[in-house]
Each structure stands twice: as C-alpha cells, then as structure tokens.
Amino acid sequence: MIVDENRIKQMKEERDAIIIAHNYQLPEVQRIADFVGDSLELSKIAKDSKASVIVFAGVRFMAETAKILSPEKKILLPVKSAGCPMADQISAEDVRELRKAYPEAAFVAYVNTTAEVKAGVDICCTSSNAIKIVNSLNEKKIVFLPDKNLAYWVSLHSKKEIIPYDGFCYVHNRFGKEEVLKMREKYPDAEILVHPESPSDVIESADFILSTSGILKRAKESNKKTFIIGTEFGLIYRLEKENPDKEFYSLGSPKICFNMKKTTQKDIFDSLLYNRYEIILSEEIIKKAKKSIERMFEI
C-alpha cells in the first residue's frame, strides 16, 4: 500500500528520523528513502547521522548492525519478520563448536550474520573487502562463515587455507552457469556483473565479480551500454535510475529476495507512527560485536 509521501516526510521531521533503504528494497521504498545503499554503508550513514531515530528498510541483521554501531539511537525495522535465511543458517552455538574444532584458526564472519554471531568471531567482512580482510590476518587457517560461495571467491585470491561454512544466500545460489552462457549468446557485447554470493561456476564464467556497490560503480564507469546483472533484482531499479542511457538485464530469470520485498511505504509510515519495531540488543552483545566490526574498519 502506497501512502502519502508528504505525510511520511512530515512524520520524519516530527520524529527526528531518517529512512535508510537497502539496494534490494521495492522501488516505492527506495524512492522515499533519505539514503539507499548496501547494508554496512547504511549502518555507517546511521552512525554519522544526527537523527535520533533510524528507520532501516532492510532485514534484521542490517538493523542489528546499525544498532551495534549506534547503540544510543532508536533503530526501527519496519517489518518484524524481515529476516535473512542465510544469517539464520548459523548460530552463536555453531561458532563455539567450530572454535573447538579449529582452535588455531581465525574466524571471519560476513556482515550478513546475527549480532550474536558477530560477537563470537574475530573480525567481520563485507563482500567487497573479504579478500583484503582475510589476507591481512596472521593466521594461516581461516574459518569463513556463513557463505560458502563468498568463501570460494576469497579462496581464489588467498594463499591461506579457507574453511567454509556450508551456508548460502538462497537468492544468489539460484544463478547458474547455463544462464551466463545464454545471456552471453543473446547479448554478446554486454558485461556480465555478478555478486560473489553466486555459485562457483557462475563466478568463474562472469566478467566481473562485485559487491552491490561495486556493480553500481562499474556500471557507471564502464564504456559498455548493456549489462547483465547477477544479483537480487531490486538493484536494477537503482542501476536504471543512475544510468538512463544504459540497459540492464537480470542474469536469467529475475531472482527475488522475498524478505527484502516485505517492506512497503505503509510499513515505514507505521514504523514511524508506532515505533515499530525497535531493535534491542544487550550491552554485552553490542560490545563484543562492535569489536569485530571495528577491527574490520581498522584494516
């Protein structure tokens, strides 16, 4: 349901709030957001903002990361059930058990994890800095969690022993090499840009392996006019908006994250009106998780 956008703007001012939205959100949500970006970029924006209330149109782990970096602020997740299946594939207990199995290894967690998991690892990483983070560590063994596909991408660029957790993003994992071959035949002059959460055969057959921010940057800077995009379909809205003279096609059938599509303008309005749904984390979890995130920032 689309509500009066001027009313949402008025509510923001009354609540001393900003709206931040992930690149995969619905166009109607991206349109009313103060900032659109990837998860960590948005958490940094929330931290630097003078607003006391942050409405995070994304999924739970993203809002948790914003809370970890800005514990003094009210972080609202408009849809309580907007979670991340990949983040839910690993728990803090799983991390503790893995530490027993690999006591000599460094533990690296993708930011697409819960606050409790971040609190139990040595350092966090994003899809754009994962290689740099892993290669900066002294340990020769790295337990990388939870995404096995991102772990594979890192292993191609590191001499360290990468021990992947058997997790994955159900959206990106649906891309296949046959889609790359078909799109290459259909659009021979196009660049194929895929996210490193994609399967290994897709990674090996694409032109560029990039984070969402990297895809946006490459599309803007490239001389090519046609692009095949191997990530969640929502990014294409922003790509078309920022590059009206270029064409963008999904790699095969559009891949949709249904959790990302749960949030509507009405949800954001209700979130502002009723304080829905505030992220609450313990001081201990915030302190431990912040350490793993800040160590990443230092590198």
Mean pLDDT, 10 residues at a time, over the chain (299 residues)? 85 96 96 94 94 98 96 98 98 98 98 98 97 98 98 98 98 98 98 98 98 97 98 97 98 97 97 96 98 95
d(CA 106, CA 134): 9
Question: Cα 277 from chain centroid?
Answer: 20
What is the pLDDT, as a whole number, of residue 4?
A: 86
Token output for 97: 């058990």
What is the pLDDT, as a whole number, of residue 264?
A: 97
Asked if residues 19 and 41 have their Cβ atoms less than 8 Å apart, the reply is no
- Count CB neighbours of 159 within 10 A: 8
d(CA 48, CA 197): 28
Tokens 């799983």 label which residue?
A: 94
d(CA 85, CA 257): 10
Dump strand ranges (E) for 77-156.
106-110, 123-125, 141-145
Type of residue numbered 176 = G
Nearest to 25, CA basis, from 64, 82, 66, 73? 82
Class of CATH domain 5-82+260-281:
alpha beta
What is the pLDDT, as a whole number, of residue 289?
A: 98
Helix 5-15 vs helix 265-274: crossing angle, to nearest 10: 30
Would the CA dihedral through 188, 191, 195, 197 be positive or negative? positive
* CATH 3.40.50.10800 residue window(s) in the chain: 5-82+260-281, 87-168, 172-250
pTM > 0.85? yes
| Superfamily of domain 172-250 in the CATH hierarchy | NadA-like (3.40.50.10800)
Asked if residues 33 and 19 have their Cβ atoms less than 8 Å apart, the reply is yes
Helix (H/G/I), strand (E/B), else coil: 272: helix
Torsion of Cα atoms, 51 then 62 then 55 then 79, to 10°: -160
**In the chain, helix, strand, coil percent, each to 5?**
45, 15, 40
DSSP H or E segment with residue 14: helix 5-15
What is the pLDDT, as a whole number, of residue 160?
A: 98
What is the pLDDT, as a whole number, of residue 2?
A: 66
Contacts for 286 with CB less than 8 Å, ≥ 6 apart: 67, 68, 71, 115
99 CB-side CA count, 13 A: 14
CATH of domain 87-168: 3.40.50.10800
d(CA 176, CA 168): 14
